[in-house]
Structure 1
Amino acid sequence: MSQLVCQLSYQNTRQGLTLAQSIIQRLRDEQKLHRLDSNSLGLLAVVAPKTGHTFYATSIISMLCSGYLPHVKAWSAVVSRLAASGSIEALQLFNSVTRRLLRCFA
């Protein structure tokens, strides 16, 4: 599943993102998100804002509560895009990630 989500993300197209989103949705509905690795989620989070889906990227990064920690490139790209749009969610997302990191090292 992770490889498929990665390949669809690498397409960097709206259609690829839509297909990847449907996979994520199906896995979430079936409570099988554990089948995805953080790299595939991180890549999807980086691609989503490029296709105009910044808030979808935020929701992917917010999967931190599920135990996933996407690569710094993924969540920092989303925070950057949100900050550029003036969204308060940029700070909220940054705080969420840093709290999660602190728990990992504590």
Structure 2
Amino acid sequence: MFRVTVRGAFEGLSDADRARLAAEPGLLGPAYTERGAFTCDRTMTAFSFRCQVPVEDDRDGEAEATARALAALAAHGFPHRVLRVAVTDLRAVKVRRRNRGEVRRG
């Protein structure tokens, strides 16, 4: 699984686009979903688009995940430009669990 965050700027959103962005359930929010979700400033100028991309092939890497996330972003149909893309391959993330008996000192 990949988590892709696209930072960008909307370009020329119409009033109808703004209304759809604000009203469509699940479209605004900080969650990573396969459909993708937006967080944006009050003026709906800048945005972050978070998308969770499943691994389709063991050889999939950042390039494939980026392409699929950008396709998901384009599918929403909002005029935009991409400023930056960050990809996290969750297969490479190591989870460190603290022992239950361990005492936290600080």
Instruction: Determine which structure has the larger strand proportion and give its number.
Output: 2
Normalised to the residue count of structure 2, the TM-score between the two structures is: 0.29
Bigger Cα Rg: 2
